[in-house]
Amino acid sequence: MHWAVKDKELVCVDDEGGIARVPAASIWRCFQGSADDTLPDLSEMGIRCSAKYQAPQLRLANTDDGPFGKLTLESKSHLGKITKLSDDHKSEHITSNNTWSPLFEGALEEILLAVKDTGAEIGIALNARQYMTCIRDLYDYSWFICECEFKAKEWSATHTPLQRRPPAKFTATLMDYQVRGSDWLTMMRESGVGVVLGDGMGLGKTIQVIKTICDLLEDNPEAKTLVICPSALVENWAREIEKFTCGLEYMMHRGSDRSRNYRTYTASVMITTYDVARMDAGVLSLVDWDMVVLDEAQFIKNPNSQRTRAIKSITRQTSIAVTGTPFENHMTDIWSLYDFCMPGFLGTVNMFTARYSDSEESASELGRVIAPTLLRRRLDDIPNDLPPIVTIPMPIALEPSEAEEYERRKQLYTQQGTAFGAIGNLLSDLAAPTYTENFLSNLKYEYLDAVVDEVIDYNEKIIVFAERRTTISALEDKYADRIPVYILNGSTPMDMRQQTIDEFSAVEGAAMLICNPTVGGAGLNITAANHVFHFSMQWNPAKIDQADARAHRRGQEKTVVVHYPFYASTIEEYMWDKVAKKRELAAEVVIGNKAESNADEVAQALSLSPIARKITKENEW
């Protein structure tokens, strides 16, 4: 047996080449000449003995092998000199530059046990979950040094887009920042880690997710994705899939006649609502979903609600939570989202609240942990990629019972009066608030809720254009307790209108201005707002453009986001289509300031049926 130095470890080697690690105390006695006879003499090695202890350290270092870094071992002398150790260093001593030094007793063992608990290996590139576990569990140790900090937002802004073949089913062209966002989604999915896509309004969260679904199907043609969203967004998801893909099969799971036989869930994508997912969680869990997507994921921020518990019980390989307002009030909002995305990673809610309070320090600590899985970009973060105004047409499908009621009223109004009268009555019903006799649907109000949540979260301002007094009053009552609300309509005196705008603009933080499009839609400068919401549909595109120009004009420093919600397969969709054609062809609209109505076109407007749309979709399934 003889002594040898192997990768900075002083070890004993037997005659057959076997290596034995020797405790630091035994080697110390050898240097002092008091070792037992079982160890060979050290004097011939020419190694000096230092009595100064060195401190072992664990470094999370950047590496070309992956974005999440790798762990390396090192020691630090009393003078601050760093010595890199081998990845499998196990001895509590090191030999470097012909000098042997002991490590602080028990320190290396503590490091190695902590690394083992994270599931990582020293010297091997970390995956996303291992990286996050290291940040969560090791960051506060004095021996842990972190020089690799992965943040999704920074990565998406700087990385070179992944060189992969575009998925065959995806036909859209993404903007550069959307490519990077989609790359991040796919990378994290391949790492088996759920994420929160928290991009702001107008950045195209839906199209990025659809691209990721197509990437998944490219890897596994049999993969299945479940999309859960508010009722108001079901139709938009369906249309976005139709618009941006080719051959991607989807089905809508909703309505009283929906199938409860999981064997019929054969489409690549199922779109359903939060309420249906809550009721059908049992049967949905019989499908091994490769991915579950929650749109407007703040719907599960209450960890104790039946909805949240039911949705979290659905079996899945990976999860994507899509929300423009990931964190609204309390740290438990974050816990609930991440308990969906990465079940168990942040512990139970009681463990979480014991560790993270509602404080800036706790938020910063938690932010380090979840930074790889939270992509939250605002319009101002990517000014070169966006046009100065972002328009978001949003088709909203009526619930089945609402669609039937719409059809009943359409027939009734047509029989009782003229076609024009029927159109006016239907438009009034679609805008009516819940407390009125002609109330029909609350879904557009719910969509506005989501927009306002994000406006408040960003401390920005919104203009809501609404025609009917009942609608304006309902909106004022609904939001007055949350943000300052200002009204600009026909009853506002001429000499008070600019003052109203000035007061609205002077508010520090979020505020809402509700305008009648005739009163507030022309001539006024309202650049304090960078969000516009058209609650009432208009026939005349010029009137719409004039309204948008209140915010999108000289002096506006932010990108303006304009929402055009309309009820699908109703008179509102017909109006939206006519406005789009008017812009394309510069022709007169059906009912405009100068044009006379065409009887055939009015008949077409009344022929649209949300029930017919539903039947057609069922036949396609």
pLDDT for 273: 94
Q: Report, as an integer, the average pLDDT of 472-482.
A: 96
pLDDT for 379: 73
Task: Tell whether the model's pLDDT for residue 91 goes beyond 90.
Answer: yes
- Domains of the chain, first to last: 2-146 (no CATH), 152-381 (3.40.50.10810), 389-620 (3.40.50.300)
Strand 389-396 and strand 289-295: pairing?
unpaired
Contact between 212 and 185 (Cβ < 8 Å): yes
Q: Which residues of 490-517 are buried (b: 16+ CB within 10 A; e: fewer)?
A: eebeeeebeebbeebbebeebbbbbbbb
Backbone angles phi, psi at 18, to 5 degrees: -70, 145
pLDDT band at 587 (very low <50, low <70, confident <90, very high): very low
Long-range contacts (CB closer than 8 Å, 24 or more residues apart) made by 355-359: 356/331, 357/331, 358/330, 358/331
pLDDT for 521: 59
Task: Tell whether the model's pLDDT for residue 620 goes beyond 50.
Answer: no
Task: Tell whether the model's pLDDT for residue 582 goes beyond 90.
Answer: no
R_g (Cα) of the chain, nearest Å? 32
Q: State pTM to two decimals.
A: 0.77
Q: Which residues of 82-114 are buried (b: 16+ CB within 10 A; e: fewer)?
A: ebebeeebebbbbbbeeebbbbeeebbeebbeb
pLDDT for 549: 81
* pLDDT tens by residue, 339-356: 999 999 999 999 999 998
* pLDDT tens by residue, 224-266: 999 999 888 888 899 899 999 999 999 999 988 899 999 999 9
**Percent with pLDDT over 90 in the chain:** 68
pLDDT band at 599 (very low <50, low <70, confident <90, very high): low
Q: Which amino acid is at 460?
A: E
Task: Tell whether the model's pLDDT for residue 8 goes beyond 80.
Answer: yes
pLDDT for 328: 58
pLDDT for 621: 41
pLDDT band at 164 (very low <50, low <70, confident <90, very high): confident
Task: Tell whether the model's pLDDT for residue 519 goes beyond 50.
Answer: yes
Residue that is written with structure tokens 């130095």 in the block = 5
Q: Report, as an integer, the average pLDDT of 371-391.
A: 79
pLDDT for 332: 85
pLDDT band at 387 (very low <50, low <70, confident <90, very high): low
pLDDT for 384: 58
Contact between 330 and 247 (Cβ < 8 Å): no
Hey, how many other C-beta atoms are within 10 angstroms of the C-beta on 149? 14
Q: Which residues of 433-457 are buried (b: 16+ CB within 10 A; e: fewer)?
A: beeeeeebbbbbbebbebbbbbbbb
pLDDT for 308: 96
pLDDT for 598: 60
pLDDT for 468: 92
Q: What is the mean pLDDT of the chain?
A: 89
pLDDT for 523: 55
* pLDDT tens by residue, 314-332: 999 999 999 887 765 678 8
pLDDT for 329: 60
